[in-house]
Structure 1
Amino acid sequence: MKDFKETANTLRKEIIRMTHEAKSGHPGGSLSACEILTALYFKEMKIDPKNPKWDDRDRFVLSKGHATPVLYATLAERGFFPKEELSKFRKINSMLQGHPDMKGIPGVDMSTGSLGQGLAVANGMALSAKLDNKDYRVYALVGDGEIQEGIIWEAAMLAAHYKLDNLTVFIDHNGLQIDGFNKDVMNVEPIDKKFEAFGWNVLKIDGHDFDQIFDALEKSKQVKDKPTLIIARTVKGKGISFMENQASWHGTAPNVEQAQKAFTELGGEL
């Protein structure tokens, strides 16, 4: 468990470093998802960094495609590409652009960015596994502001209809989106009851607690004939005191003073 916590902390440092050096990016919603991606990529998912396109690998879709800092930091830490690439984030001619590119980045299973579409794509991957009699699983990370999109609910209906029990979706429920609190912009509650009404198995956890994350993942694998939604209550900007629960850090890069202060809180020097 100590190793997982240290890995999540490392991801947070890289998120700060990348967005600071690029002078752009989305740190808030990346910082809130570090434990989730750590759990998936360093324990749960069946993957091979040396063979990113392995047919029998588990798939991951970053439906909230703007949160690439956490995905890129995770892929680099897991060994899909050299960590030195992270310093090129959002730079001209870099493969690591603002949204993930499945054709250019090892380990990226789907190009995303237009919010709401990732869940539909994850459905297709999960249905494909069923049709091909494959046992790989599909995981997706969706933002809580993102579920205001209508396509999410069409995809939710389809996943239940086709009994995609090989699909597990996390909602990064930090309560904030680019222009404020979900409840003020467009209330998304009650998320659990809505998905249950659509025919999903729903679990609610603390998205920063590894024990709860691993327990929920294990439970999701025991469910038959239903997709699973894990509502992970998180903190936007998690780990950085002046960023936590601040919508302004959704898409704002830290300057040098802010980045150094963040590093001091995480332990280390920028």
Structure 2
Amino acid sequence: MDSQELRFVASRIRRRDLQAVFEAGAGHVGGEMSVIDILTCLYFNELSVDPAAPLDPERDRLVLSKGHTALALYVVLAERGFLPRDEISTFLKHRSRLNGHPNRVYLPGVETNTGPLGHGLPVAVGMAKAAKLDDRSWRTFVIVGDGEMQEGSNWEAIMAAAQFRLDNLTLIIDHNRLQQGARLSETNDLAPFRPKLEAFGWHVEDIDGHDHSQICHAVSTATGTPGKPKCVVANTNKGHGISFMSDNVAWHHKVPDESQYRQAMAELMETGE
């Protein structure tokens, strides 16, 4: 897809995500809005995956380490054909496959269970190392939140990935500058990320995490350094696309009321056309 087509798809995904949060009365809509453009570019432009064969041994792997934004992943998977689109209406309902955090036992396309922060990158390092050991060409991508980067397990994984020369691994940091209850700068300010990752031996790119052309270029095999794992620092806005949610810490897991829902949906319709 070209950038315009990706923008249309991302807008449709945002609207469906917002609707599901509103109907379920729960969700993490702010972080979902910030990560949707990244997920859209990966699933509709870059990842080698097949909804008809979700366990194909040669598939690329995507780990959503910031598992609290599972709904964004569910909607993307539904758009890509891994599950029926109408199943999104079951989000958080009794016996639904669509839990608040991804579960690989229930849902095709989910590579590993996530939720407890700081676990996704270590798992992804193991996946990438396995591909190297087996001399396979498939790649591993992992998306983490910037607040999640405060977890020490991530930095151990970063060291290991550099030591193992995992150039088949791409770490994407959803750098929206906000975490639950506070700004990153008010808790443990790790920014800027680029010099830190470069010091550990990674290839690093800073991009606009809502510019589809920049995202697609950064995650492609056209960029990178042989023998080095890649990190893409995607500068995003929490609540992107919705004026009263954008860059607002209150919308980590707040649910819009009916008036807010109508306004948000109207804004997303306007920007998506």
Does structure 1 residue 18 correspond to structure 2 residue 20?
yes
Q: Aligned-pair distance for 1:2?
A: 1.6
Does structure 1 residue 156 correspond to structure 2 residue 158?
yes
Contact 1:123–1:167 (8 Å) recurs in 2 = yes
Contact 1:122–1:139 (8 Å) recurs in 2 = yes
**What are the equivalent positions in structure 2 for 1:61-210 lying under 5 Å apart?**
61-210=63-212
Contact 2:171–2:231 (8 Å) recurs in 1 = yes
SS in 1 for 2:143: strand
Q: Please give the per-residue CA displacement for 1:176-227, whole angstroms capped at 9, x wherever unaligned.
A: 0011110011111221111111111110000011111122123665421110
Contact 2:143–2:174 (8 Å) recurs in 1 = yes
Q: Please give the per-residue CA displacement for 1:18-37, whole angstroms capped at 9, x wherever unaligned.
A: 11111011000110011111
Contact 1:61–1:118 (8 Å) recurs in 2 = yes
SS in 2 for 1:85: helix
Partners of 1:166 and 1:56 in 2: CA distance = 13
Contact 1:26–1:66 (8 Å) recurs in 2 = yes
Partner of 1:59: 61
Partners of 2:221 and 2:134 in 1: CA distance = 24
Does structure 1 residue 44 correspond to structure 2 residue 41?
no
Contact 2:217–2:223 (8 Å) recurs in 1 = no
Q: Please give the per-residue CA displacement for 1:9-62, whole angstroms capped at 9, x wherever unaligned.
A: 011101101111110110001100111111100010000001111110000000
Partners of 1:189 and 1:172 in 2: CA distance = 12
Partner of 1:262: 264
Q: Aligned-pair distance for 1:255?
A: 2.1
1:35 is aligned, of 37, 42, 60, to 37
Write the letter of the residue equivalent to 1:244: S
1:228 is aligned, of 221, 227, 230, to 230
Write the letter of the residue equivalent to 2:266: T
Q: Aligned-pair distance for 1:161?
A: 0.6
Partners of 2:224 and 2:44 in 1: CA distance = 21
Partners of 2:49 and 2:73 in 1: CA distance = 15
Contact 1:168–1:220 (8 Å) recurs in 2 = no
Q: 5+ residue gaps in structure 1?
A: none
Contact 1:45–1:58 (8 Å) recurs in 2 = yes
Residue 19 and residue 242 in structure 1: after superposition, are their counterparts in 2 closer, same or farther (change >3 A)? Answer: same
User: What is the TM-score with the length of structure 2 in the denominator?
Assistant: 0.96
Contact 1:207–1:233 (8 Å) recurs in 2 = yes
Write the letter of the residue equivalent to 2:193: I
Which segment is superposed worse, 65-74 or 220-229?
A: 220-229
Q: Please give the per-residue CA displacement for 1:147-180, whole angstroms capped at 9, x wherever unaligned.
A: 0111010110111110100000110001000111
Partners of 1:221 and 1:58 in 2: CA distance = 17
Corresponding residue pairs, total: 268
Output the aligned Cα RMSD. 1.1
| Percent of matched pairs sharing the same residue | 46
1:8 is aligned, of 7, 10, 13, to 10
